[in-house]
């Protein structure tokens, strides 16, 4: 199959400049955001015969959180990095369709270290793996019995996992936080199980597994290729470098004001903003979104998964190990999960791209983001020197993604917290007058995953097309969410004798 060169793809991505200031644009549909869900929504609008739309994107290219950057002589994925779920998973199918280069990684190819060097954590690792399976089984059992949701932390304790040592905590962080980008204390046990199942069987018998993207065209390549099927170079429907400031909505239409001074008038709008943006005042609404909507939005979590990229002239780590987990004696999650990008099958070892990066999440991610780069380099060097029992030089290259503080995202992907009900999530996704909402967070089964963004975006595009062609499909929402009747929702109260 013939592919565009990196330069040609970049030219396509940058072909359209920002809409001139103080101009007015009219369209039937305004798609707000040019990420994966926005591209999928546009694709399905076109499939339904709706071509009068605009895609409004603040950055200078499409792709959203599928965002690669040049680093130490190669391109690395600042954002999403794995095809998570194989088989008929649409992201896997797109990867095959467009020849995306991936490698199979193995999170079990891991060694553990503390501040004194190499340690044996096989016992703790196996015990945690068993506990994780047990809380998934517990979630299914409690759901079948119509029992209320509990946190993953409560579930872990119920099945006998209570990490007290630094090694146990490090193993748990690697097995849980590294996936959900938040800890078990705040995460719903039931929806952690739903999320786990989203790539462990929902896409057929061969769906289990993850492929790590190493394609130098970037993960976004497959989405740019899909966009090319309905967008032409210099397509006036693509408004790059255009940042939404305010959305005014009514029963008759939507008016979008941009920071650049432009105005877009549309019959319908599709918001693809991340849940993090919707929780902040980066975009304002006129009138303010109703309380039933805001409660659902504000109750969900936008997690932060920060990949701190580091590279050295020469590797000092075992290049045959794909992962290294650090058990800090004092702080759970402190520079915990390391990945070696010169492991066999990944990137070749050379003098510029010996990349060894570390992932931090939640509070550790917020803390690292707030530090100056010089302080981060110092911390990392101290940790690595203690891990390897020798003086490690400061990295020659470092890149710190600051997703949480970026007003275009306010985080990396969503996580279902304890306390968020199905009804809250339905309200979160429900349209408000002529504004529809989509994105990975709006997907009940695939929140936090690229397939959630792609599937939900496509479904929303179909729904809006129906609004234009016939009538809008009915979308449920709950104006109020109240406690159910005690007699029907609770077992009979019992008292101690």
**Residues placed in the known binding site for FAD:** 37, 57-58, 244
Cα radius of gyration rounded to whole Å, the chain: 23
- Could you identify the residue written with the tokens 């993090």? 276
Cβ contact 259:243 at 8 Å: yes
Cβ contact 104:225 at 8 Å: no
Cite the annotated binding site by residue number.
37, 57-58, 244
Query: Can you read off the two tokens belonging to residue 271?
Result: 């918001």
> What phi, psi does 240 have (nearest 5°)?
-85, 165
CA dihedral 46, 199, 154, 112 (to 10 degrees): -120
- What's 341's DSSP letter? T
Buried-exposed string 56-79: b where 16+ CB fall within 10 A, e elsewhere: bbbbebbbbbbbbeebbebbbbbb
C-alpha 472, offset from chain centre: 29
- Cα–Cα distances in angstroms (integers) from residue 162 to residues 127, 165, 336, 393, in the given order: 11, 9, 19, 37
- CA–CA dist 194, 321 (Å, integer): 30
- What's 442's DSSP letter? G
DSSP 85-104: --TT-HHHHHHHHTT--EEE
Query: Can you read off the two tokens belonging to residue 239?
Result: 């408004």
Cβ contact 50:270 at 8 Å: no
CA atoms within 13 A on the CB side of 87: 15
- Cα–Cα distances in angstroms (integers) from residue 177 to residues 170, 304, 408, in the given order: 10, 10, 24
- CA–CA dist 403, 302 (Å, integer): 11
Buried-exposed string 160-187: b where 16+ CB fall within 10 A, e elsewhere: ebebeebbbbbbbbbbbbbbbbbbbebb
Put residue 216 in one of left, alpha, beta given phi > 0 → left and psi -120 to 50 → alpha.
alpha
């Amino acid at each position: 199959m013939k592919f565009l060169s990196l330069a040609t793809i970049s030219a396509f991505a940058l072909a359209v400049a920002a809409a001139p200031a103080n101009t007015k644009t009219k369209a039937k549909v305004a798609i707000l955001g040019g990420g994966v869900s926005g591209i999928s929504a546009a694709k399905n609008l076109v499939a339904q015969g709706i071509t009068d739309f605009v895609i409004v994107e603040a950055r200078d290219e499409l792709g959203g959180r599928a965002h690669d950057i040049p680093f130490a002589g190669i391109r690395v994925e600042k954002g999403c990095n794995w095809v998570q779920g194989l088989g008929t998973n649409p992201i896997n199918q797109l990867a095959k369709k467009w020849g995306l280069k991936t490698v199979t990684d193995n999170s079990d190819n891991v060694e553990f270290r503390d501040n004194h060097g190499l340690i044996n954590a096989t016992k703790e690792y196996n015990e945690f793996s068993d506990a994780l399976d047990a809380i998934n089984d517990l979630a299914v059992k409690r759901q079948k019995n119509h029992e209320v949701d509990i946190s993953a932390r409560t579930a872990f304790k119920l099945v006998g996992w209570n990490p007290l040592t630094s090694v146990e905590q490090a193993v748990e962080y690697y097995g849980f936080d590294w996936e959900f980008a938040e800890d078990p204390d705040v995460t719903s046990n039931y929806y952690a199980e739903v999320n786990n199942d989203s790539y462990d069987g929902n896409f057929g018998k061969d769906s289990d597994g993850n492929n790590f993207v190493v394609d130098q065209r970037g993960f976004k390549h497959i989405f740019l290729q899909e966009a090319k099927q309905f967008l032409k170079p210099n397509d006036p429907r693509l408004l790059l470098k255009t940042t939404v400031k305010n959305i005014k909505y009514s029963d008759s239409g939507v008016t979008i004001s941009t920071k650049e001074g432009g105005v877009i008038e549309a019959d319908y709008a599709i918001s693809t903003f991340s849940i993090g943006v919707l929780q902040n005042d980066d975009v304002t609404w006129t009138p303010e979104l109703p309380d039933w909507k805001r409660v659902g939005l504000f109750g969900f979590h936008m997690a932060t998964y920060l990949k701190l990229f580091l590279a050295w002239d020469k590797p000092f780590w075992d290049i045959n190990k794909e992962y290294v987990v650090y058990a800090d004696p004092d702080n759970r999650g402190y520079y915990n999960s390391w990945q070696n990008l010169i492991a066999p099958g990944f990137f070749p070892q050379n003098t510029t791209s010996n990349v060894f990066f570390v992932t931090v999440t939640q509070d550790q991610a917020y803390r690292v983001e707030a530090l100056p780069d010089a302080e981060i380099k110092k911390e990392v060097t101290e940790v690595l020197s203690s891990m390897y029992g020798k003086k490690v030089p400061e990295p020659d290259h470092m890149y710190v993604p600051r997703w949480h503080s970026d007003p275009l995202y306010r985080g990396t992907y969503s996580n279902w917290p304890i306390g968020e009900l199905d009804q809250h999530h339905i309200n979160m996704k429900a349209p408000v007058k002529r504004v529809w909402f989509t994105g990975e967070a709006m997907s009940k089964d695939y929140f936090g995953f690229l397939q959630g963004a792609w599937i939900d975006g496509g479904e929303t595009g179909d729904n809006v097309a129906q609004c234009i062609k016939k009538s809008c499909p009915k979308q449920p929402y709950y104006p109020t969410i109240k406690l159910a009747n005690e007699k029907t929702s609770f077992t009979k109260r019992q008292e101690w004798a």
